[in-house]
């Protein structure tokens, strides 16, 4: 998948994954600390980088400690143990402590429960150089934390805090982290605070053709909140090409945010966006071309961060059989078809089986069937037919033949049936009888008029 270059470096990489043991769920002060195993991702293949993946990036193990996450009352305190930094500070270690009290992290609870639910957390950190922060003496990181399996996903901007000595004065000659060359706290950690966060609570959404959907995205930042000036862009990337869906710009000097809509029926509530940081995108009357990767980019005076989510369009097939009943004439095989129409996406599975009256379990016929190729309509949906020759020898009257269709849009497969009917008692072909009847009527008509 292709994304814009720049900030989105993070999502181009395969995730380094780590579950964390419950002992790493730790309590401190009013909230709880969560310890995540992360990778520090850097551009370029320097020497000594561990676990280098690909030629372009190097990854170094790192630890992210999210401090003071609010605890919900149902977390039992026994499971929480205080976070203990290493006994002797090691300038090789990369331990980033992030204060998260303001702005608060949404649904941080789900991170606390991730371990119990056997969900994995992906965490990657890289250096970030926001425009306009040169010469401030502050360093920045961008961290991407994702709960596998469709939970919360967030991109955090971390801003370093100057380390302080025992007397709360700036430390005089603090230990420097070897790789980052940044001053460490007395316990050997890099102190930061969360300055900005963009998050989404649904990384993947399915919605029906013609329906509506809301793609979740939000942001929070340190003061000033609400954000007086901000920018928002929603883009759609699909199969290597991208287009803008919507853009919003709020300026301090303007009364109303300016919204530019590129896709009809898409909207963001500008008031909620600016005042609550809720920049969720609403899309109406979904079409197949709306499917793809959506990127929500929020920028403020200093920072810019993104969330990426997938939208899948689904439409169940309409399933029908060419006939309801089959009558074998003159003992000849009969062709029947099962039609699956107007579905999306492409992967549909058709199975055939039959159940003679004497049997208890249906017998599969799928390998005897032949499929037409897929046809695609202008709205992007597909159709397919499956054909089968029924043999009179194996199908006595009363046999039920079933076409069973599975599709990702269906929670259970659709089944349609036909039955094999009894032959005419005279054994004479039906059309002959019909011919005789018509001839008789014609004869009577001529004679009697
Ligand atoms: C944004 O608002 C919508 C309702 O308009 C709500 O369903 C959604 O949960 C909100 N999202 C965030 C991130 O607050
Ligand atoms: C959007 O709607 C307007 C007015 O209904 C119409 O003129 C325009 O062609 C539409 N644009 C697209 C891309 O469908
Ligand atoms: C299915 O096909 C096989 C040969 O490929 C044939 O022997 C068998 O009779 C067929 N079954 C039915 C029920 O048509
Ligand atoms: C088709 O027949 C099978 C048994 O052979 C039955 O389980 C299924 O419910 C039937 N489907 C319909 C739509 O009647």
**Two structure tokens written together for 327:** 């009558």
Give the tens place of pLDDT for each residue, 126-184: 999 998 888 888 899 999 999 887 788 999 999 998 766 666 666 666 788 888 888 88
Measured CA to CA, the distance from residue 260 to residue 257 in angstroms comes to 10
E strand intervals along 315-439:
318-321, 325-326, 334-343, 349-355, 363-364, 370-371, 375-376, 382-390, 400-406, 414-420
Element (H, E) at 447: helix 430-448
Distance 218 CA to ligand 1 centre (A): 8
pLDDT value at position 239? 84
Q: What share of the chain is helix, strand, coil (3-state, %, to 5)?
A: 10, 40, 45
Query: Is pTM, for the whole model, over 0.85?
Result: no
Measured CA to CA, the distance from residue 83 to residue 217 in angstroms comes to 31
**Protein residue whose Cα sits closest to atom 14 of ligand 1:** 278
pLDDT value at position 49? 43
Q: Which domains occur in the chain, in start order?
A: 1-197 (no CATH), 202-313 (2.60.40.10), 318-420 (2.60.40.10)
Strand partners for 337:
387
Residue keyed to tokens 């793809």: 292
**266-295 b/e (C-beta count within 10 Å ≥ 16 → b):** bebebeebbeebebbbebeebbbebbbbbb
Distance 355 CA to ligand 4 centre (A): 10
Would the CB of 391 count as within 6 Å of ligand 3?
Answer: yes
**Two structure tokens written together for 87:** 């006994």
Residue 173 CB coordination number (10 Å): 7
Would the CB of 213 count as within 6 Å of ligand 3?
Answer: no
Would the CB of 202 count as within 6 Å of ligand 1?
Answer: no
333 CA: nearest ligand 3 atom? 14
How open is the CA angle 156-191-10, to the nearest 5 degrees? 30
Question: Read out DSSP for 329-361?
Answer: STT--EEEEEEEEEEBSS--EEEEEEE-TT-SS
Would the CB of 415 count as within 6 Å of ligand 4?
Answer: yes
pLDDT value at position 168? 67
Distance 345 CA to ligand 1 centre (A): 28
Distance 411 CA to ligand 1 centre (A): 27
* Integer CA distances (angstroms), 323 to 182, 253, 338, in order: 76, 69, 9
Give the tens place of pLDDT for each residue, 335-372: 999 999 999 999 999 999 999 999 999 999 999 999 99
Would the CB of 368 count as within 6 Å of ligand 3?
Answer: yes
pLDDT value at position 165? 60
> 11 near 155, Cβ under 8 Å?
no
pLDDT average per 10 residues of sequence, the chain (449 residues): 27 28 44 85 63 69 85 63 77 87 72 70 92 85 88 91 68 78 86 92 92 95 74 93 94 85 95 92 96 95 93 96 91 94 95 94 94 91 96 92 96 96 66 69 72
Distance 346 CA to ligand 2 centre (A): 29
Measured CA to CA, the distance from residue 358 to residue 279 in angstroms comes to 62
pLDDT value at position 413? 97
pLDDT value at position 4? 28
């Amino acid at each position: 998948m292709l994304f814009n270059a720049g900030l989105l470096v993070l999502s181009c990489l395969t995730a380094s994954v780590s579950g964390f043991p419950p002992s790493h769920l730790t309590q401190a002060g009013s909230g709880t600390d969560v310890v995540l195993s992360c990778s520090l991702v850097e551009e370029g293949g320097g020497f000594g980088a561990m676990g280098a993946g690909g030629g372009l990036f190097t990854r170094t193990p790192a630890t992210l400690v999210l401090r003071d996450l609010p605890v919900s009352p149902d977390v039992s305190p026994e499971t929480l143990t205080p976070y203990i930094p290493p006994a002797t500070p090691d300038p090789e270690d990369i331990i980033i402590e992030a204060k998260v009290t303001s702005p608060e992290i949404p649904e941080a609870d789900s991170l606390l429960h991730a371990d119990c639910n056997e969900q994995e957390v992906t965490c990657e950190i890289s250096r970030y150089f926001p425009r306009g922060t040169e010469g401030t003496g502050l360093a920045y990181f961008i961290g991407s934390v994702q709960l596998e399996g469709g939970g919360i996903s967030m991109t955090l901007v971390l801003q370093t805090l100057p380390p302080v000595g025992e007397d709360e004065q700036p430390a005089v000659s603090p230990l420097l982290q070897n790789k980052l060359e940044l001053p460490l706290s007395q316990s050997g950690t890099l102190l930061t605070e969360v300055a900005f966060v963009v998050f989404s609570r649904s990384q993947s959404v399915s919605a029906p053709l013609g329906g509506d959907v809301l793609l979740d995205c939000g942001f929070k930042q340190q003061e000033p909140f609400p954000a007086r000036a901000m920018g928002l862009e929603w883009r759609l990337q699909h199969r290597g090409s991208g287009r803008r869906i919507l853009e919003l710009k709020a300026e301090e000097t303007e009364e109303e945010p300016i919204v530019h809509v590129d896709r009809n029926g898409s909207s963001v509530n500008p008031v909620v966006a600016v005042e609550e940081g809720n920049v969720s995108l609403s899309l109406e009357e979904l079409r197949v071309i709306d499917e793809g990767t959506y990127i929500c980019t929020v920028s403020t005076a200093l920072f810019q961060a993104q969330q990426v989510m997938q939208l899948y369009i689904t439409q169940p097939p309409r399933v029908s059989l060419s006939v309801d009943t089959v009558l074998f004439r003159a003992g000849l095989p009969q062709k029947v078809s099962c039609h699956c129409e107007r579905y999306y996406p492409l992967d549909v599975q058709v199975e055939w089986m039959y159940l003679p009256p004497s049997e208890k379990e249906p017998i599969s016929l799928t390998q005897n069937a032949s499929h037409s190729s897929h046809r695609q309509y202008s709205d992007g949906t597909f159709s397919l037919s499956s054909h089968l020759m029924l043999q009179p020898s194996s199908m006595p009257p009363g046999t039920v033949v079933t076409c069973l269709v599975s599709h990702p849009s269906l929670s259970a497969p659709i089944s349609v049936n036909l039955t094999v009917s009894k032959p005419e008692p005279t054994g004479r072909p039906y059309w002959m009888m019909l011919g005789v009847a018509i001839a008789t009527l014609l004869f009577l008509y001529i004679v009697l008029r």
